[in-house]
Structure 1
């Protein structure tokens, strides 16, 4: 079905098929958003809030973006100085786009890996990651297993970010071995920041 042309009055609005990095060395860089089933890039406002929570300087951090999609979350971390960022994506077309982006940005701290997010996370157990970014498809059953796998890869002071279609309570977090630190609702998106639960060893 043909898409309607944008009205002139909407000329200042962000195009529907791109998002922008909101901070760091690549601020305002446009990232293409492919028309793929289930692809739902994290809104700019949510990413801005997340990195306000984390702090603007991620120098030295080791990060994993497990359901990379457009790469917006992981590239945002790299833009703010993260030392290592692994982007994991299963869709071959999205992987090809991410590789082009990496080349265009000369993003030497970014690694792109095609694969299953849960399998990659399982293989990262004991890796002492500082930040794991989880944005699974909202119609999937991947939330609980992804959190469990992320916890096993997390450093003792590491953090897990999760986007989900519902709010995760303190009780939900505790059952996953995590502690809820922050929560934001933006439209249909619930954004969460978790740390390792007190007394839960790395």
Structure 2
């Protein structure tokens, strides 16, 4: 679920929604999602596909959830015993809801950075690396391509890191770095899902 526009900052409680964790230690838990303009759910069907792909790879993973929105992917990874998750989300309402949901689940291995994901990835001054990254940006803004490039250029990815990329169907010709091996791909309605591994 991703925030498509930072302009609207008002939440409509009557239409606030939820995400559901589909497996793991928090299976069945529902977490609130603010009605922020452009927030697009990653459907349960897509999440099930993605985490079937990642079945052997979430436990003990250091996760980076770019353009986190509701955090559906990051929370699913935490439910499946990821070592830690860092959520990057620039919308303040969405970021605050992520923090609330972390508190609700009593997680001590998750953090939220309220920031523009591309700006954050432009610098890796602490030389941090992740071995599982989710990229599900606002559609039709060319952000996925920039995000992939920055992850490689600034050394955010550990050896054999896995990167999940979700883009609009017309962006299926995404140009990924030459050392990313395509492991899985699937078209699902208006979205195109791919899983890569760093070689």
**TM-score, with length taken from structure 2:** 0.83
**Is 2:51 the counterpart of 1:47?**
no
Contact 1:62 1:85 in 2 (8 A): yes
Q: How does 1:95-174 map to 2 (within 5 A)?
A: 95-124=95-124, 126-151=127-152, 152-166=155-169, 168-169=172-173, 172-173=175-176
Q: CA deviation at 1:120?
A: 1.9
Q: Cα offset for 1:139?
A: 2.6
The runs of at least 4 aligned residues of structure 1 exceeding 6 Å deviation read none
**Contact between 2:16 and 2:35, CA under 8 Å: does it hold in 1?**
no
Compute the displacement of 1:128 (Å).
2.8
C-alpha separation between the residues in 1 aligned to 2:161 and 2:57? Answer: 15
SS of match in other structure, 2:122:
helix
Inter-partner Cα distance in structure 1 for 2:92 and 2:135: 19
Question: d(CA) in 2 for partners of 1:176 and 1:23?
Answer: 33
1:89 aligns with 2:78: no
Q: Any unmatched runs of 5+ in structure 2? A: 1-14
Contact preservation (8 Å) 1:21, 1:30: yes
Contact 1:134–1:160 at 8 Å: present in 2 too?
yes
Q: Distance in 2 between matches of 1:139 and 1:38?
A: 12
How much does 1:17 deviate? 2.2
Q: Number of aligned pairs? A: 181
The answer to whether the 8 Å contact 1:66/1:134 transfers is yes
Work out which of the two has the higher radius of gyration on C-alpha atoms and give 1 or 2. 1
CA–CA distance in structure 2, aligned partners of residues 102 and 16 of structure 1: 18
What's the Cα RMSD here? Answer: 2.1
Q: Structure 1's 24 and 56: CA in aligned 2 closer, same or farther, altered over 3 A?
A: farther
1:177 CA drift (Å): 4.0
List runs of 5+ in structure 1 lacking aligned partners: 1-14
Deviation at 1:47, TM superposition (A): 0.8
